[in-house]
């Protein structure tokens, strides 16, 4: 399945092409360049009460160009479409880009006690979604089934 996300960056209109795939319960969204190569991706799963981000990664040459932000907005759209108002994201403290990216988009570190070792050297960041705010950018996301694509049901 393909999605197109349009946004403004530095007062310019930017269009991101996204490829959405599902393997079992895990979804992956790839942000593609004009040649169809991945600039970055996010993997996630939808649970009863929330959406869980396993990994978000932007290739080094595309960092600080809005790819990570576009992927997070797509995740928020998926959460909204599924009636989930909370997103949880695992992050490694050694990843110097993850925490600032999540914080920029309103994620926070919940009260966690213990040491890094208690959490397998990862911590979780959370975000509670405001459906009114998400609906504003949802109009800029277009999801379409390509000719021979397998149908992906978002549950």
Q: What is the pLDDT of residue 139?
A: 62
- In degrees rounded to 5, what are phi and psi of residue 74? -65, -40
pLDDT tens per residue across span 51-90: 999 999 999 999 888 899 889 988 888 888 888 889 999 8
146 falls within a domain: no
150 falls within a domain: no
105 falls within a domain: yes
**Nearest of 14, 16, 12 to residue 38 by alpha carbon:** 16
* pLDDT over threshold 80, residue 102: yes
Query: Around 55, how many Cα atoms within 13 Å sit in the side-chain half-sphere?
Result: 8
Q: What is the pLDDT of residue 136?
A: 64
**Which of the four pLDDT bands, split at 50, 70 and 90, describes residue 96?**
confident
Distance CA 89, CA 30 (A): 17
Q: How many domains does the chain divide into?
A: 1
Mean pLDDT, residues 22-29 taken together: 92
Lowest-confidence pick of 38-42, 104-108, 136-140: 136-140
**Which of the four pLDDT bands, split at 50, 70 and 90, describes residue 27?**
very high
Distance CA 141, CA 20 (A): 13
Mean pLDDT, residues 123-128 taken together: 87
Q: Is 110 exposed, middle or buried (0-12, 13-18, 19+ CB in 10 A)?
A: exposed
DSSP classification of residue 85: -
Task: CATH number of the domain at 116, please.
Answer: 3.40.630.30
Under 8 Å CB-to-CB from 82, ≥6 apart: which residues?
Answer: 46, 51, 154, 155
Handedness of CA 10, 107, 78, 146 (dihedral sign): positive
Q: Strand locations in the chain, DSSP E?
A: 2-9, 12-23, 26-32, 38-46, 51-58, 86-91, 123-128, 141-144
* pLDDT over threshold 90, residue 112: no
**Which of the four pLDDT bands, split at 50, 70 and 90, describes residue 142?**
low
154 falls within a domain: no
Look up the domain containing 95 and give its range: 2-140
Do residues 124 and 51 make contact, with C-beta atoms less than 8 angstroms apart? no
**Which of the four pLDDT bands, split at 50, 70 and 90, describes residue 140?**
low
């Amino acid at each position: 399945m393909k999605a197109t996300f349009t946004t403004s960056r530095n007062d310019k209109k930017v269009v991101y092409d996204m490829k959405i795939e599902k393997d079992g319960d895990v979804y992956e969204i790839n942000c593609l360049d004009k040649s169809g190569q991945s600039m970055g991706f996010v993997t996630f799963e939808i649970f009863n009460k929330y959406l869980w981000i396993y990994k978000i990664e932007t290739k080094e040459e595309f960092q600080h160009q809005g790819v990570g932000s576009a992927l997070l907005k797509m995740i928020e759209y998926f959460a909204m479409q599924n009636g989930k108002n909370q997103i949880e994201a695992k992050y490694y403290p050694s990843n110097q880009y993850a925490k600032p990216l999540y914080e920029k988009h309103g994620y926070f570190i919940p009260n966690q006690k213990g040491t890094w070792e208690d959490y397998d050297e990862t911590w979780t960041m959370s975000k509670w979604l405001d459906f009114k705010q998400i609906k504003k950018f949802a109009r800029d996301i277009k999801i379409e089934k390509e000719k021979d694509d397998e149908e992906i049901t978002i549950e």
